[in-house]
Structure formats: structure tokens, C-alpha cells
Structure 1
Amino acid sequence: MLPFFTNPYPDELLYSAIARYHFYSGNLDCKDTLEELFGSRSVVPSVEIGSNFSILAERLGPQYSVESLLANHTIYPYYALFLSKQRQLEILEDVKGEGQALYTRLGIVAGGICRKDGLYYCSICAKADTERYGEPYIHREHQLQGIDYCPHHEVLLRKYPITNDSRIEYIRFELKHMDLSSTHKIDPHKELALHLAKQAYKLLHLPLHFLSREQINAKYQTLLRAHNLITASNRVRQREMYQAIKSILSGSFLQHYESTLNNNDEYNWLRVLTRNSKRHVNPFRHLLFLYYLQQDVENLVTINEDDGAFGRGPFPCLNRAATHYKKFVIPNVVVTRDFKTKNSIGTFTCSCGFVYSRKHTTNMFEIGRIKAFGDVWLEKLHDLQEQNLSIRAIARELGVDSKTIKRYLIGNVELKQVNSHRDNDDILGIYKQNLLKGIKELPNLSRTALRNKYKKQYMYLYRHDKAWLDEALPERRYGQNTIKKVNWAKRDQQYVQEIKRLHQKLLQSEKPIRITISKIGKSLGILANLEQHLNKLPKTNKLLNDITESLQDFQLRRCYKIIDDLLGNDQGIFLWQVQRKAAIKSHHFHAIKPKLESYIEMKQEVTNNERTTS
């Protein structure tokens, strides 16, 4: 154990504390210091983290451990949260020993961005440290990749002048070499850069290995689902997410911080970050992603991991006629997508025959739509009818509208219920008759044409009596249709012209219409090609990336139109009035409110200038 050691200051790099120890120990040769601390004269000093921590912790005394040194006096916590549990354990072993694979495992080698080629300091921190401790020291929060500002004093970091670049020397900060003057530099990215610096500092102080990449990915899934960016099949809506991030993070900012996004690149950092991939993503980019999600780093501790749109089963049966009403007896949920809103819809089927669905945003005891009541419910209905209860009383008892009760008691829906429980043989017989009648009336139709005309019958017969279907259909026709090779370049140019014309038409529509790939594809009858062959249509793809709107873009355009109309009619503008006319929910409107205020100010200034000129 060493007779003394220069104990590290708060958030001081271990490298800095060792440099101070070398200075105060009076050692002339740095190798003597290395031997005293690490038991070896061949250890290479490392600024960011280091190695041989087992020997160092043993020589420093019981108040230090490998974990405490790693957590409090290295930059490792900046990376730790986003590493797999296995990788975290490997790195812990690396720092205990010689650490040969350390920086490769961290991703600094392959995934590094905005690398710093020296030591950095904050002039105000240097002054404060000198007043408090008698000397400045190297803060770990100032050495992080991508971080240009001090999170405490909100000033740009400065590079410390190094005259000796020997690999086995430790650099100690000296006040006489530091620029402590007050300078102000115009930085268009300062506000966001400051926010990221503060978030990075919080990363350094989260409990070491409290979370891992696996858990972070599950939490990201929860956050993306809240933004309606997860499909019914649990896939991320990459294109919509890309459009949303593009509207929040400027291209110049992303370029400055080496984080530009190319949506056509299957391995751009945003796709890698939101997929269960082994590729490394720099912590700075995780901070960008959290900024888009409007989440603080500290929130990651409390956010639940994703359990799917509706959570894990079992789920409650909401059949008021059943003895197990509100009991969790439904084991699974079938998740589908609402065609219009793209929200996830869950369908819950109970053994009692009761089937209901609801959106994932609603309470689990709330029914969105009843798809089938089942035999238990129907039996209860007839029992209540025999008790001579009124229609309304029966409706209250069964939890439905009185009109529903009337329909069932009259018999219209009862027939539907009976039909839905017919034997397969009855349905097969009806569908066979439908198809045979069609073949007889339309003898010239091909198999494909018949399948398209009688889709329901065809699919049912295909699944339940394929042999009969194959025999009943007309002979296959070969060689009548020659497949023409598609000229994708010509089609690409044609689509560009058609989409441009449609885009102008949509923009001029009296009632604003959100411009999406789905809307454009359906309007022009080319949705299948836009969904399946967009990689063959580069010009079309680029145009769509430029003109399609995220939900926020569309909300802004709607509001801008309302503001323009109000100004054109010389009416006063109240934001609550704009929100009501645009029919935007409050939490969405709050996000776009600053942009609307800027737009109103700009338009009013233009109007005033025009009046002054005239």
C-alpha cells in the first residue's frame, strides 16, 4: 500500500490524479511512478479510462475499488448504459488487467465521432478549482466525444496546450498555461449543444451497470410506441421516425457533429439504434435520440420496458353476462392495425364466445367495439326477457345500448349469430354454389379473374376443400400473357411528374390534406410500387423524402393556413383559437407553439412593412 496518494477531486479523471501524484511525489522519471502505482514500468497512460485497476486499487488502499475508480474517475459511465450486459462484464475484466481490447469493446475505435485530440478545460471551472483546491484539474465531463460545452458554466471548452506528447508522460494542468479570458463566440447550435452536455454529465452519474443495452432497447420501444411509431407487428416505423427527427434536428447540426442521416442507408445510426443489432452506436447519438423523444437521461431509470401495445396477458373478459366478468381469463390478444389512424387495435376472444376490441391507448376495462356476444350473453338476454324486464333495464344489465337489445330480440342479429356458427359443410355448400353459378354465367373468366371476383368464396374453399376447387375451376391458361420487362427509369421519371402535379393540387386543397406516401400512392394508383419497389425508383424516393409530411409538419401547415386567413381578414390572432380550428390535441399543440409564435411575429412584421411602404 502506498504511503500517500493524491486523492481524486470530484469528477477528476484518474489520469489527472496520477499526474498530480507524480508531481508531488518528486519522481523525476514517469516510469518510477508507474512502477509505484501499477507494479510495472511498461504501463501506457490512458486519459479516458486506463487499465491494471486491480493492482492500483490494492496499492491505494481499502477506500478504493476497481468499480469505484471506474464509475467516478473515468469516462466509462458515458458508454456503460448502452453496452450489452455481456460487454459490461468483459470491460470490467479488461480494466482489471492490461485492457488490450478495452477501447474496441467500448466502440471508441469503430464508432467514435467528434474525437478530441487533446485535453480540454472550462476556464470558469479552472478558476473555481484553483480557489477551492489550490490548483486546476482535468474534469472527465470535458473530455467526452461530441461535448463542446461545460455543463456547469455553459461556456465553450478550450484545448489545453501540450508541449510534450510522450506516450508515457502524465500531463498536469497548470494555471499559467490556461486561457481564462472571457470570450463570446456566436454558435447557432449552442442551445442544443448545451442540453446535450448536461445530459452527458447526468450519464456519468447514473449507477454503474444499473441498466444495459438490452433494457435500454426495451425502454426505447416503450417510448416509440407512445409516439405511435411501432406497428402492430412490433416493427419501428423507420420512415416516419426519420421524417420526425429531420424536422427537429437541423441538417447543419447533424453534419457538424458527424451524425448525418441517410434514410436509404440500411445501417444509418438511427436504424441501428432502434434495432436489436450488435453494432455500436456512440452515446452522443443516443442523447440525440432521447432529445427527439423529449426524454431526460434520468427518466430511463423509471420508464418501464415494453410489453407490447397491450401488455402481457391474461386479459379481462368484459362480458357482463358471464360469471367471470372482469376476471383475467383471456390468455392472448390479436394485434392488428387501424387502416386510417395506424393505431394498434387489440382483439380479445374469450371462451364464453364474447369478442371485443379496443385501442392500445384506452383503459383495459374499456370496450372499443364488441365483435361478437357469444352464446352465454344470448342466453342471459333471453333469461332477462322472460323476467319481463324493460328494454332499458336489460340494456343496463348487459352493458349495451337499448337499440342493440331491440335488434337481438327482434331476431335480425340472432340470425347472424346462428349463421356464424353454421357447420362448415353448410358454408362449403353455399360457397360452392356461388362459385359454380359464377363459372356458368361467366364462362370466359380465367382462374385469376374468378379468384378476384369471388375472393371470400375462393379463399374459404381453398382452405377447406382445395381438391374440389381445383377440379371446379376452368383449365389453366398458359402463354396468353407475355410478361413485359418494366423500364424502371422511365417509370421513375413518369412518377416524379405525376407526384409533383398531385403535390401542388394537394397543397392548394381548401381543406388541408396530410401529404404521405400512402395518400400519394392511393391517389395515383401506384401504392404497391411505392411500398414494394421504391428502391428501383431513386428520383421518386428522393422527391417523396422531400415532400411527405410528418404529423407535426402537417399540424404546422394547418395552423399556418388558419393564421394566414385570420391576417387576411384583419382579425386578431389567438393561439387557443388556432388550436381549436386546427383540431390539434393540447400536448401536440404545445410542441409546435413556439414555431407558431415566430410565424405570427414574422407575418405581422411583413404586413406592417407593406403598410408603411404603401
Structure 2
Amino acid sequence: MHNFPVPYPNELLYSTVARAGVYQGITSPKQLLDEVFNDRKVVATLDLPCHVQALAQQLRRTGRFSIQELIYQHTLFPIYSPFITEARKKRAIQLMTACSQGAIHLLLGVAASRVQVNDYLRYCPECLKRQYQQYGEHFWLRSWFFPGLQVCPEHGALTILPIRTSAHRHQFHSLTSLLSDDVVDAASCSELIQLARFASQLLTIPFGGSPSLEQWTSFYRNLAVDFRLSRGNHIRHDEIYERVIHQFQKSTLAQLHLQLDPTKDSSWLKNIFRKHRKTFSYLEHGIVWLSFLVDMKPDEIIQHAHRIATCAKVFTYTVKSSVIEQCELNIKRRLWQKLVRKNGVLGARKLGSGNALYAWLYRNDTPWLLNFNSEHKMRRTNPEQKLNWHLRDLNTVRQLYRLLPAVDVCYTGPRLSANFLLTKLKNKSTIEKNLSKLPLVSMFLARYAETVTEYQLRRLVNTCIELSDNSESLKKWVVLRKAGLSEERLCADTQKVLAEMKLF
């Protein structure tokens, strides 16, 4: 594409592509994808877009927009990168560079996060005035779309538009074209603005390494020790809870879906001060930091955590047979062998005497115990098949047959693809993943699923019939426009049929 716009500071790549469509006068979402990405299947994503390499190629003449620069300065990736491992960060950049098919949100934990992502478009009226004075146009800023927050870091409440990005997966909405729509103001409070300012500081952190999970574990352990909220190896979670509640109201935490229940052992606040086995969201880290480390900036905290030295614990099995008399050792072994042969390994451990015997052998004769238990481990048999796939096959085919008469076959109707037919089923995912076990369903889809060529021909024929019934002239351009077809995208067989019709 010629004259692709240069991204403004802190502008989302989503906004840059939308402005490109406005500059070129492109109203078709698919045509815009063709021009920018050369791929009609790209999904318009606000926070973590993919195909960044294609955008970097569009901006290559500027000489200053690398792939990494676009990801760190024009997406929301910086609010996730400090809290994931280095290997996962590199993998995420690779996925955003090319096509990820939604894997990037799974990799960064967005899909399973407690923090809810709101896909409604929104903007700050005060920021719009400054944009127009400085740049002469409007665009989407990164700071308006922090997950879980609907406030501007500078001016407070945002204005919510009634348009969701998921309404049309392939359309990039420009801000200027939506300013006339009805709007609703979001709720705001000082605590949410404080978190939004914390998130905006994360966006400015330069490229660098991320602390490991072990370093984050040590960081929060040291934090509890420094504030005298620990007793030996025990963390005083109740006092930590009181300190966080003093800083953030319960209503604010409930609004962020980060409620705290001091009686529950699975609370995220307790887990963040324990061993980190998974990553936590930027809001969970931010709430703790703003409760304990108000005077430190996020980049200083991250650098401090990254400098923490970790030592890996190496567990080795040592044989203590030399210390214990061989006679006693042989007696213990025979007793354990007798119990295992009679009750099995698990059954022997459930016995009172067996449990104590197992603990003694584990401390004093570990290699022999593990080797003997592995030889007498219970072999699991394959469970019986829980589902009658043949019956499922018959029932699904009957459902699909009942769907066919209900499908609208006019030229404006959707293509009867295999995916469209399966979507009408309640258990679409199960059927789709097990087609190899459902031969009748596979035969049905192969017979009745409509190809792109058949779909185009159906629209073409139905349009000609409608025009003839209305006594309208069959002009080629009228037929194509009425059918919603384009000569550039017609299949070879459709072009042959259109040529044989000899329309004028």
C-alpha cells in the first residue's frame, strides 16, 4: 500500500490500520486487509495484534519502525512482558510477528486471567482535544484499553462507545467515524486512576530481560520480610490483607474481579506471596506494589527483582546402608516386600505400619525402594469406552439433515460450509475434533458442504432469476453488484459460467 500512515506516539497498530483505510477511501474490510496484509483472514485485534511483520514492511521506508519497536511501543504487550519468563516472551514476539491464530492470548494467560478484557471501543474526550490541536486528527491510544480498567490515566473516566471489536472480526474502526455515535460514561475513582497510571508507566519500560518465576518468588518473600510480615518461613497473610484493603476498597477490587477473601487459601493475594508456579496479571502485581512500594517506580522494582540471585536446589539420593546394620536393612526390606505383594504399593502405604515402614526405607534405602516399587506398580488397564461413537454418528447426521431445510438459500444467505453446518450443533467442538470416528458425518459434510465456487454460482443464478422476475435488464455489472460478487475474486468455473451467459 502506498502512503501508509506513520503511527503516532502511543497509538495502537489497530488505529494505524484504520487510518490507512480512511486515507485510501477503502470501505470494505476485506479489501483493506488485502491492501495492508495481503491476507483476507487477518483478525482486527486491539491489544495484541499479529502480522506485525507486514506492518513493519509497510513502514520500511521510514527506516525507524522495527518489529520489536512496533510491538513494544504500539501494542499492550509491555504490560505482560515483565511478568512472563524470557522464553515465553521470545515465543510471544514470534507469534505477534506472523500469524498466531489466537495463540498469543493463550500464551500470555489473557484467556484464563481473572482480569476481564472489555472489547468495547472507548476514548477520553480531553485527550481528543489535545490530539486534534497537536496532530489535526483523532486516533486510538494504548492507555484507553488497559484490561480491566476503563479510565484515562490523566483525565479519569472514559467514554464508552456501543461498538465492540468482536462484532466484526475483520473490521478496523477509525475513531473519527465513530464520534457521532451514542456514548456512555464509565465509572471512575481515584484508585482506578492510580492503577491506570501504574499501567502507563509499564508501557514506557524499555526492552530488557524479565525476572524469572524464581526471582519473583524471592522478591515477594523478601518484601514480606522487609515489612516484618513474616515469622520464620511463615507469611502473615492476614496482615498483608489488611494493608492492601487499607489502600484499595473492596468495591474497587470487586470491580476488577480481584476480590479478596482472607478465609480462602486459594486467594490470589496469598498465592502471589508463595512460590510462583504461574504468572500473575499486571493488576495483581500493581495492587501489591501500590500498597507497599508507593515511592518506587515499576521499572525500578522490575530491575530490583531481576538482580535477585537464585540458586537451584539439587536433590540427591544417598544410600545410608553403611551406617545402618545390614541385618536390620534386610529385615525392613523383607517386611516391605511382603506387604507390597499382599496389598500392592498403594495399599501397603495406607496401612499404619506400612506407612511408617515406607518412610523409614525412603530415608535410609531410597534407590532400592524406588526400584522395587516401580517393578510392582499396578498396571492400569485401558478403561472401557464411555461413549458410543456409532450412536453419536447417527444422531448427529439426523440433526444435520433437519438443519438443511431451515437454511436460507437466497443469494444473500451464508455459504453452507462444513464449519457453518457444524456451528448449528450444540456440541460443535466435540464433533469437529472427532470426525475420524464419525464416518457418516464426514460423508454428509463431503456431500452437502458448499464450496466457494458453488456458493458464487448460487448467488449468481438467484440474482439472475430475481432480475428476470422483476423484468430488469441483465447487465453484467448489475448482476455482479446485486449478487455481491467481484470479478477479481471469482473462481475459474464461475468466470466460465458468467462468460457463457453473455451478459451485456
Shorter-chain TM-score tier: 0.5 to 0.7
In 1, Cα distance between equivalents of 2:110 and 2:47 = 11
Whole-Å separation in 2 of the counterparts to 1:81 and 1:246 = 25
Corresponding residue of 1:255: 254
**How far apart, CA to CA, are the structure 1 residues paired with 2:114 and 2:44?**
20
Kindly report the root-mean-square deviation, in angstroms, between the aligned alpha carbons of the 2 structures.
2.9
Structure 1: which 5+ runs fail to align?
313-614
Identity rate, percent: 24
Partner of 1:77: 78
Contact 1:126 1:175 in 2 (8 A): no
Render the CA deviation track for 1:300-348: whole Å, top value 9, x for unaligned.
145366869xx99xxxxxxxxxxxxxxxxxxxxxxxxxxxxxxxxxxxx
Residue aligning to 2:332: none
Amino acid at match of 1:303: H
Q: Map 1:271-420; keep pairs closer than 5 Å.
A: 271-295=270-294, 296-303=297-304
- 1:203 and 2:202 correspond: yes
Q: Distance in 2 between matches of 1:66 and 1:251?
A: 41
Instruction: Provide the residue aligned with 1:118 in structure 2.
Output: 120
Quick one: distance in 2 between partners of 1:136 and 1:306? 41
Quick one: distance in 2 between partners of 1:112 and 1:60? 36
1:130 aligned partner: 132
TM-aligned CA distance change 1:220 to 1:257, over 3 Å: same
Aligned residues: 304
Q: Which has the higher contact order (CA 8 A, sep 6+)?
A: 2
Deviation at 1:36, TM superposition (A): 2.7
Measure the CA separation in 1 of the matches of 2:171 and 2:194.
Answer: 34
The letter for the 2-side match of 1:222 is: N
Does the residue aligned with 1:109 lie in a helix, a strand or coil?
A: coil
> How far apart are the structure 2 equivalents of 1:137 and 1:307?
41
Residue type at the aligned position of 2:251: S
Q: Distance in 2 between matches of 1:13 and 1:109?
A: 20
Question: Residue deviations 1:403-458, cap 9 Å, x none?
Answer: xxxxxxxxxxxxxxxxxxxxxxxxxxxxxxxxxxxxxxxxxxxxxxxxxxxxxxxx
- 8 A contact 1:238–1:271 mirrored in 2: yes
Change over 3 Å in CA distance of 1:142–1:278 after alignment to 2:
same
* CA contact 1:272–1:281 (8 Å) conserved in 2: no
Contact 1:53–1:95, Cα closer than 8 Å, also in 2: yes
Change (3 A) 1:134 1:93: same
Instruction: Return the TM-score normalized by structure 2.
Output: 0.55
Separation in structure 1 between the aligned mates of residue 162 and residue 137 of structure 2, nearest angstrom: 17
Alignment of 1:196-235 (within 5 A): 196-214=195-213, 215-233=215-233
Q: CA deviation at 1:35?
A: 2.3
Equivalent pair of 2:48/2:104 in contact (CA under 8 Å): no
Aligned equivalent of 2:153, options 151, 154, 158: 151
Q: Show structure 1 runs of 4+ deviating over 4 A.
A: 178-181, 304-308
Give 1:294 shift: 2.7
Distance in 2 between residues matched to 1:90 and 1:60, nearest whole Å: 23
Contact 2:37–2:54 (Cα < 8 Å) also in 1: yes
The within-5 A match list for 1:528-543 is none
Whole-angstrom CA distance in 2 between matches of 1:224 and 1:166: 47
Aligned equivalents of 2:216 and 2:21: distance in 1? 40
Alignment of 1:419-498 (within 5 A): none
Contact 1:111 1:280 in 2 (8 A): no
Paired residue type of 1:58: Q
| 1:557-578 C-alpha deviation (Å, 9 max, x unpaired) | xxxxxxxxxxxxxxxxxxxxxx
8 Å contact 2:161–2:182 — kept in the other structure?
Answer: no
Larger radius of gyration, structure 1 or 2? 1
Take 1:293 and 1:35, find their aligned partners in 2: how far apart are those partners?
A: 50
Query: Which deviations, in whole Å up to 9, do the C-alpha atoms of 1:145-171 show, x marking residues without a partner?
Result: 12232112x220111243993211110
Unaligned runs of 5+ in 2: 312-504
For the structure 1 residues 190 and 6, does the alpha-carbon distance in structure 2 shift closer, same or farther, using more than 3 Å as the test?
same
CA 27–306 in structure 1, closer or farther in 2 if over 3 Å, else same = closer
Matched, 1:16 2:15: yes
8 Å contact kept, 2:122–2:144: yes
SS of 2:206's equivalent in the other structure is coil
How has the CA–CA distance of structure 1 residues 236 and 163 changed in structure 2, closer, same or farther, with 3 Å as cutoff? Answer: closer
Aligned partner of 1:147: which letter? Answer: L
Task: Give the counterpart letter for 1:167 in structure 2.
Answer: R
Paired amino acid for 2:73: N
SS at match of 1:159: strand
Give how far 1:179 is off.
Answer: 8.2
- The one of 128, 141, 144 equivalent to 2:143 is 141
The change in CA–CA distance for 1:207 and 1:72 in structure 2 (over 3 A counts) is same
Quick check: 2:116–2:256 contact (8 Å CA) kept in 1?
yes
Amino acid in the other structure paired with 1:47:
L
CA distance in 2, matches of 1:5, 1:262: 51
Q: Deviations over 1:552-611 (max 9, x none)?
A: xxxxxxxxxxxxxxxxxxxxxxxxxxxxxxxxxxxxxxxxxxxxxxxxxxxxxxxxxxxx
Q: 1:217 to 1:22 in 2, by over 3 A?
A: farther
The letter for the 1-side match of 2:176 is E
Partner of 1:37: 36
Q: 1:302 to 1:258 in 2, by over 3 A?
A: same
C-alpha change, 1:265 and 1:306, in structure 2 (3 Å) is: farther
Cα distance in 2 between the residues matched to 1:84 and 1:257: 25
SS class of match (1:6): coil
Per-residue deviation, 1:194? 1.6
Please tell me whether the aligned partners of residues 151 and 194 of structure 1 are also in contact (alpha carbons under 8 angstroms).
yes
Superposed CA offset, 1:207-229 (max 9, x none):
13443353444433333221123
Q: 1:305 to 1:166 in 2, by over 3 A?
A: closer
8 Å Cα contact 2:191/2:252 also seen in 1 = no
TM-score (norm 1): 0.46
Change (3 A) 1:15 1:114: same
